[in-house]
Amino acid sequence: MRIRRIFCSLLALLAVAVPLSLTACNPEQTEGRSADDDSYTGLLKTCPNFLPSSPGIRPVIDFGGETLPQLREAYGLAAVAGELSSARTTFSQATALLHWVSRHTVHDGAYDNHVPENAPELLAYAFDKGADGALNCRALSVILTECLLSLGIPARTVSLMPFSPYDNDNHVIAHAYIGELGKWVVLDPTWDAYPMDERGVPLGLLELRALLAARQPIQFNAEANYNGAPMDAANTAYYTAYLTKDLFYFSFSETSGFGDQGNPRTLTLCPAGYDVKRRELNNIAWRMETFGGSEAMQAWLTRQKAREILYVSAEDFLAAPALAYTIVD
């Protein structure tokens, strides 16, 4: 079964229409190893170190408010995840929620972000609606993040960003902190997937990045699929190459909670020596040249020029989460 072309573009944040033929994501071109694959792994290999944290930043998890418990009750998420036991771990709960979100939603990268970005409203739009309620990777990851938070599992929605300013595509995943593993792990609801090393150990983003940079093998869970298309050799090759392209730098909200609690601050994990602001300004300029300078594009450019880039170090990115508020039962 041929999977659909993925277009997790930042342009969707602006509801700007872009011809699919211009996207970098073409799952029909997945056979063998390409020069681009080596270029992407080469960039990761060449840039293994990251900038230190900006003064005053504090990544936190916010379990507060009434909405997360309401989400948990409305969709029976405690039953979906199962109770913790000697045989039922936090990771088992997290992956149960991953499979649940993927099973009841459909991905379409051309979704225009018109639904408010929180799990209750996104699920009302998408849950069991098929293609009529399809969402992009960011919206799916927001749903999964908030479902995890509703059960007290720390999680963030993280944007995975490519190196090139001439790239109109990126990916978004949920990054969950699993207590018994003592680390963050990648959960991707677009593909119902989590990456693992050769031994079957789930990987966090920086572990995944390091293995791909070293051209070491990774694997995915048996349930992984894209909108029902199985993870055969071609899809696995495509997905691995796609992740490699988008693992150059990461960004996420400083506070992860319901709707990110309105926190306007974005933190960036940036390779040392790389100028994120220049990349993003050049990217917007390229988009305007390629697709036209709409009012939304011009407003985005103005905001980006005024934006202060706040950095998070690898150590702070990997640290056990600080809690702003405890969960409301």
Q: What whole-number distance in Å separates Cα of residue 315 and Cα of residue 297?
A: 34
Q: Above pLDDT 70, what percent of the chain? A: 86
What is the structure's pLDDT at 65? Answer: 83
**What is the domain range of residue 292?**
10-23+57-325
What is the structure's pLDDT at 27? Answer: 37
Over residues 265-292, mean pLDDT: 94
What is the structure's pLDDT at 297? Answer: 85
Over residues 134-139, mean pLDDT: 97
Q: What is the pLDDT of residues 26-69, one digit of tens each?
A: 333 333 445 567 889 999 999 999 999 999 999 999 998 889 99
The answer to whether position 35 is within a domain reads no
The answer to whether position 133 is within a domain reads yes
Q: What whole-number distance in Å separates Cα of residue 257 and Cα of residue 255?
A: 6
Q: What is the pLDDT of residues 161-193, one digit of tens each?
A: 999 999 989 999 999 999 999 999 999 999 999
What is the structure's pLDDT at 317? Answer: 98
The answer to whether position 319 is within a domain reads yes
Partnered with residue 174 across adjacent β-strands are 157, 187
Average pLDDT, the chain: 87
| Residue carrying the six token digits 């929180």 | 118
What is the structure's pLDDT at 326? Answer: 58
Provide the number of structural domains found in the chain.
Answer: 1
3-state secondary structure of 77: helix
Q: Above pLDDT 90, what percent of the chain? A: 75
Q: What whole-number distance in Å separates Cα of residue 189 and Cα of residue 229?
A: 14
260-278 in b/e form (b: 16+ CB < 10 A) is bbeeeebbbbbbeebebee
The answer to whether position 197 is within a domain reads yes
* Residue 236 C-beta-side C-alpha neighbours within 13 Å: 15
| Position 234 pLDDT exceeds 80 | yes
The answer to whether position 42 is within a domain reads no
What is the structure's pLDDT at 294? Answer: 85
Q: What is the pLDDT of residues 284-325, one digit of tens each?
A: 999 999 988 888 888 989 988 988 999 999 999 999 998 876
pTM of the model: 0.87
The answer to whether position 302 is within a domain reads yes
Q: What whole-number distance in Å separates Cα of residue 120 and Cα of residue 75?
A: 9
Instruction: Record the tokens describing residue 151, joined without a space.
Output: 């059960």
Q: Where are the alpha helices (DSSP H) in the chain?
A: 35-46, 67-74, 77-81, 90-103, 119-126, 137-150, 205-213, 233-245, 276-291, 295-306, 314-318
The answer to whether position 283 is within a domain reads yes
Q: What is the pLDDT of residues 68-125, one digit of tens each?
A: 999 999 999 999 999 887 778 999 999 999 999 999 999 999 999 999 999 999 999 9
The answer to whether position 45 is within a domain reads no
Over residues 240-257, mean pLDDT: 96
Q: Please state, in angstroms and as integers, the Cα–Cα distance from residue 325 to each residue in 64, 69, 154, following that order.
A: 5, 13, 11
DSSP 8-state class, residue 5: P
Phi and psi at residue 265, to the nearest 5°: -90, 130
